[in-house]
């Protein structure tokens, strides 16, 4: 299609307002998938996303559309992930589009995320078309939704297209609005090539499939391309567009969205945000906005059963093929044996990896407390970067430490500020700043230690704002910090996997939390078990698991052998999932409990 007949757009919405359902309906309307093959929520290809209602990997789909005016259009729907961990991916997807559909649930109206999403779209200078969804609901209030779109978002509420993505009512009007209201892309197909990479996926047969938006020039089969940040060259094997399946084309011209296959082995060999140019006739400079995906959260992953280690290694290798931001290296623990130290983009990323390892690969895992990376300056002038408590140096040699800070932006209805402020201060927040972007809403800007954010800030924020608080952050660098290593001892023996690096102010609450959780989860033994939290040799928290006297089988009458045996077998099975520290068996759930905050 020529540029005038191309539209590139994304859909953004508060969670559950119907983004995925609307996407499905548009795909279906354009006849890209047959009714029979239609799988609900096509774009959320991972089951995890379906369950959590979030889209983790962005993807694009090209929809052929014949408009009311009889003209043929190529509509490229670019999907975006919906979580702060992936905000860079979102920004690259949005940079590939000219406009967005902003979905608002007719029964819920404008919500925090609606606003946060709108801001992001405006930051990328995108045209925004509001869509009011779920008009089939009895509780739908379309006039009120229009009013909120005008008053709270500053958009034209009368222009909003009111639809039911579920029944399909009026959804064709959305496609017309895309054609009529969103601008066509610009760019010169004859200029030196600049194509923005906004996603990459691993295909076992073709290697990495790279998703691009061609900004300038033309990308064609046989061309030698150059990754401007990566510095590598490849030969283009195939270009084309996605229509659920890949459809090969001769070329992709400025303004188009599609894929490139160029013998790139793993997803880690590409960088989202990088610019592809022509090796023979390169562009003068890459497209703006490139940022290297850098892990900020670290945790060690151990198999519960020691003999699962090779399977864990294998599973991580497979996940890595499709996830450039996952990094890992071998690690070992006295308590837990062999495992891997892994780096993640954020906590959600960590959870997604953990869930995939457990569900797709059938592994049972123990993760250590997530940590950030600290700078440690020693008296002798050396500087260390440490994210693993195991490598924390002798405190006597430490001059000072620094920890990473983020600038968080929290958007919420005004009524929640009284609950959010204390939360931020409790998390060692600094430089709070209030902004009133529109009536009734507050934007709180606050500098927070990343370590506090990854602990459980997001969950707590959701709780205190009843889901209305939206949260985004950017790294702002390192600041001085009073760091200590907290160790957990069980009967005097350090459980290395439970050690953590924490701010001295937080050491005692975290130690209390850990010893109490262990007390509740470590089964009683014939002897008393002392559980302690310590900084160096100083004990700062303690609890005790009392001795167990009774014989577990005494409850069963002497004659009932089978019942007795069953009980003993159950105990044995339970033991397999235990880790022995000294002479104390610690169950997997104890490790997990320490990880969880209250
Ligand atoms: P997303 O989180 O924005 O992707 O939202 P989904 O598309 O997953 O939709 C969230 C829920 O709303 C699902 O249970 C959908 O079936 C439902 N839903 C979506 N659109 C409509 C609609 O037009 N009417 C009704 N009644 N339900 C809808
Ligand atoms: Mg969805």
The pLDDT tens digits for 144-158 are 999 999 998 899 999
Cα–chain center distance at 597 = 19
Max distance between CA atoms of the chain, in angstroms, equals 90
**Beta-sheet pairing, 99-105 with 127-133:** parallel
pLDDT class of 511 with cuts at 50, 70, 90: very high
What pLDDT digit, counting tens, does each position of 174-188 carry? 999 999 999 999 999
Instruction: List CB contacts of 237: < 8 A, sequence separation 6 or more.
Output: 206, 221, 261, 262, 263
Helix (H) or strand (E) holding 163: none
DSSP assignment, residue 270? S
pLDDT, residue 35, reads 55
Helices then strands (H, E): number in the chain?
A: 14, 33
pLDDT, residue 28, reads 87
Residue to mutate, 10, 165, 167, ligand 1, most ligand atoms under 8 Å from C-beta:
165
Please answer whether residues 237 and 223 qualify as being in contact, where contact means their C-beta atoms are separated by less than 8 angstroms.
no
Please answer whether residues 98 and 7 qualify as being in contact, where contact means their C-beta atoms are separated by less than 8 angstroms.
yes
Closest-CA residue, ligand 1 atom 19, reads 18
What pLDDT digit, counting tens, does each position of 102-131 carry? 999 999 998 877 887 888 898 889 999 999
pLDDT, residue 286, reads 96
User: Which residue in this structure is represented by tokens 């962005």?
Assistant: 58
Q: Any alpha helices (H) in 124-232, and if so which ranges?
A: 142-151, 171-181
Residue to mutate, 21, 162, 170, ligand 1, most ligand atoms under 8 Å from C-beta:
21
Among 417-421, 451-455, 569-573, name the one with the lowest average pLDDT: 569-573
Q: If you average pLDDT over residues 452-459, what whole number do you get?
A: 83
Residue 107 buriedness (CB in 10 A; 0-12 / 13-18 / 19+): middle
Q: Is the pLDDT of residue 16 over 50?
A: yes
pLDDT class of 305 with cuts at 50, 70, 90: confident
Structure tokens at 303: 């198999």
Q: Which ligand is nearest to the CA of 21?
A: 1
> Could you tell me if the CB of 19 is within 6 A of ligand 1?
yes
Structure tokens at 330: 């071998």
> Could you tell me if the CB of 164 is within 6 A of ligand 1?
yes
What pLDDT digit, counting tens, does each position of 238-264 carry? 999 988 778 999 999 999 999 999 999
What pLDDT digit, counting tens, does each position of 372-395 carry? 999 999 999 999 999 999 999 999
Neighbours of 274 (CB within 10 A): 25
Mean pLDDT in the chain? 87
| Strand ordering across the sheet containing 238-243 | 233-235, 224-227, 275-278, 194-203, 207-216, 257-261, 238-243, 245-249
- % of the chain with per-residue pLDDT over 70: 89
- % of the chain with per-residue pLDDT over 90: 57
Q: Is the pLDDT of residue 486 over 90?
A: yes
pLDDT, residue 435, reads 87
DSSP assignment, residue 250? S
pLDDT class of 53 with cuts at 50, 70, 90: very low
Please answer whether residues 481 and 503 qualify as being in contact, where contact means their C-beta atoms are separated by less than 8 angstroms.
yes
Residue closest to 410 by CA, chosen among 351, 471, 455: 471
pLDDT class of 56 with cuts at 50, 70, 90: very low
Q: Which ligand is nearest to the CA of 12?
A: 1
Neighbours of 332 (CB within 10 A): 15
Annotated binding residues for GTP, as ranges? 16-21, 133-136
Question: What number does the ligand 1 atom closest to the CA of 19 have?
Answer: 3
Instruction: List CB contacts of 279: < 8 A, sequence separation 6 or more.
Output: 223, 224, 225, 226, 233
Instruction: Provide φ and ψ at 342, rounded to 5°.
Output: -120, 150
Instruction: List CB contacts of 252: < 8 A, sequence separation 6 or more.
Output: 195, 212, 214, 218, 219, 220, 239, 240, 241, 258, 260
Comparison of pLDDT for 210 and 56, the residue scoring more: 210
Residue closest to 11 by CA, chosen among 154, 153, 131: 131
Please answer whether residues 213 and 96 qualify as being in contact, where contact means their C-beta atoms are separated by less than 8 angstroms.
yes
Neighbours of 572 (CB within 10 A): 9
Q: If you average pLDDT over residues 311-315, what whole number do you get?
A: 94
> Could you tell me if the CB of 165 is within 6 A of ligand 1?
yes
Q: Is the pLDDT of residue 44 over 80?
A: no
Please answer whether residues 194 and 286 qualify as being in contact, where contact means their C-beta atoms are separated by less than 8 angstroms.
yes
CA angle 265, 59, 211 (to 5 degrees): 45
Q: Which ligand is nearest to the CA of 136?
A: 1
| Strand ordering across the sheet containing 72-78 | 60-66, 72-78, 6-13, 99-105, 127-133, 161-162
> Could you tell me if the CB of 18 is within 6 A of ligand 1?
yes
**Through-space distance between the first and last CA atoms of the chain, rounded to whole angstroms:** 55
Q: Is the pLDDT of residue 548 over 90?
A: no
Helix, coil or strand: residue 224: strand
User: Which residue in this structure is represented by tokens 């990473």?
Assistant: 404
Q: If you average pLDDT over residues 408-423, what whole number do you get?
A: 91
The C-alpha atoms of residue 557 and residue 463 are separated, in whole angstroms, by 49
> Could you tell me if the CB of 16 is within 6 A of ligand 1?
yes
The C-alpha atoms of residue 78 and residue 98 are separated, in whole angstroms, by 11
- The DSSP secondary structure of 419-452, one letter per residue, reads HHHHHHHHTT-EEEEEE-SSTTEEEEEEEEEHHH
Q: Is the pLDDT of residue 467 over 70?
A: yes
> Could you tell me if the CB of 169 is within 6 A of ligand 1?
no
pLDDT class of 78 with cuts at 50, 70, 90: very high
> Could you tell me if the CB of 168 is within 6 A of ligand 1?
no
The C-alpha atoms of residue 333 and residue 493 are separated, in whole angstroms, by 13
Half-sphere exposure of 471 (CA within 13 A, CB side): 25
Instruction: Provide φ and ψ at 163, rounded to 5°.
Output: -140, 170
Among 26-35, 178-187, 351-360, 502-511, name the one with the lowest average pLDDT: 26-35
pLDDT, residue 82, reads 62
Half-sphere exposure of 98 (CA within 13 A, CB side): 22
The C-alpha atoms of residue 217 and residue 82 are separated, in whole angstroms, by 31
Residue closest to 131 by CA, chosen among 91, 99, 83, 177: 177
């Amino acid at each position: 299609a020529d540029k005038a007949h191309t539209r590139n757009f994304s859909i953004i919405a508060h969670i559950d307002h119907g983004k995925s359902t609307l996407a499905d309906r548009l795909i279906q309307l354009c006849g890209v998938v047959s009714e029979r093959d239609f799988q609900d929520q096509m774009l959320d290809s991972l089951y995890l996303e379906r369950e959590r209602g979030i889209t983790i990997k962005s993807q694009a789909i090209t929809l052929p559309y014949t408009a009311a005016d009889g003209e043929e259009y190529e509509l490229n729907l670019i999907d975006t992930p919906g979580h702060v961990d992936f905000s860079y991916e979102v920004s690259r997807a949005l940079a590939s589009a000219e406009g967005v559909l902003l979905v608002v649930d007719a029964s819920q109206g404008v919500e925090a995320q609606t606003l946060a999403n709108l801001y992001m779209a405006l930051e990328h200078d995108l045209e925004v078309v509001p869509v009011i969804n779920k008009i089939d609901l009895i509780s739908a209030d379309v006039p009120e939704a229009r009013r909120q779109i005008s008053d709270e978002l500053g958009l034209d509420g009368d222009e909003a297209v009111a639809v039911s993505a579920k029944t399909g009512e009026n959804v064709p009007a959305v496609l017309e609005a895309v054609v009529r209201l969103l601008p066509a892309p610009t760019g010169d197909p004859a200029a030196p090539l600049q194509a923005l990479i906004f996603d990459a996926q691993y295909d076992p047969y073709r290697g990495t499939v790279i998703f691009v938006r061609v900004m300038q020039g033309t990308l064609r089969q046989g061309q030698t391309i150059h990754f401007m940040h990566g510095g590598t060259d490849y030969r283009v094997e195939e270009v084309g567009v996605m229509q659920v399946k890949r459809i090969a084309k001769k070329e992709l011209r400025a303004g188009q969205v599609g894929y490139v296959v160029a013998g790139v082995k793993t997803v880690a060999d590409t960088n989202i945000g990088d610019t592809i140019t022509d090796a023979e006739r390169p562009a003068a400079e890459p497209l703006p906005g490139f940022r290297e995906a850098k892990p900020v959260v670290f945790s060690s992953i151990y198999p519960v059963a020691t003999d699962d280690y090779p399977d864990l290694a294998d599973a991580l290798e497979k996940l890595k093929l499709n996830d450039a931001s996952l990094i890992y290296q071998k690690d070992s623990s006295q308590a837990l044996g062999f495992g891997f130290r892994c780096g993640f983009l954020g906590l959600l990323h960590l959870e997604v990896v953990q869930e995939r390892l457990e569900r797709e690969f059938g592994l049972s895992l123990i993760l250590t407390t997530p940590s950030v990376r600290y700078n440690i300056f020693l008296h002798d002038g050396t500087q260390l970067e440490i994210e693993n408590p195991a490598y924390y140096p002798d405190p006597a040699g430490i001059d000072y430490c620094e920890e990473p800070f983020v600038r968080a932006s929290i958007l919420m209805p005004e009524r929640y500020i009284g609950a959010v402020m204390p939360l931020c201060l409790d998390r060692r927040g600094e430089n709070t700043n209030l902004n009133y972007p529109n009536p009734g809403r507050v934007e709180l800007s606050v500098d927070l230690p990343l370590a506090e954010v990854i602990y459980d800030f997001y969950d707590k924020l959701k709780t205190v704002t009843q889901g209305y608080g939206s949260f985004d952050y950017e790294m702002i660098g390192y600041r001085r910090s009073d760091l200590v290593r907290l160790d957990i001892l069980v009967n005097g023996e350090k459980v290395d996997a439970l050690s953590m690096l924490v701010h001295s102010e937080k050491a005692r609450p975290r130690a209390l939390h850990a010893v109490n959780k262990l007390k509740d989860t470590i089964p009683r033994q014939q002897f008393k078990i002392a559980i302690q939290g310590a900084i160096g040799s100083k004990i700062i928290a303690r609890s005790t698991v009392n001795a167990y006297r009774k014989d577990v089988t005494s409850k069963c009458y002497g004659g009932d052998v089978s019942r007795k045996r069953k009980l003993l077998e159950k105990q044995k099975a339970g033991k397999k999932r235990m880790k022995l520290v000294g002479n104390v068996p610690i169950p997997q759930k104890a490790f997990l409990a320490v990880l969880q905050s209250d």
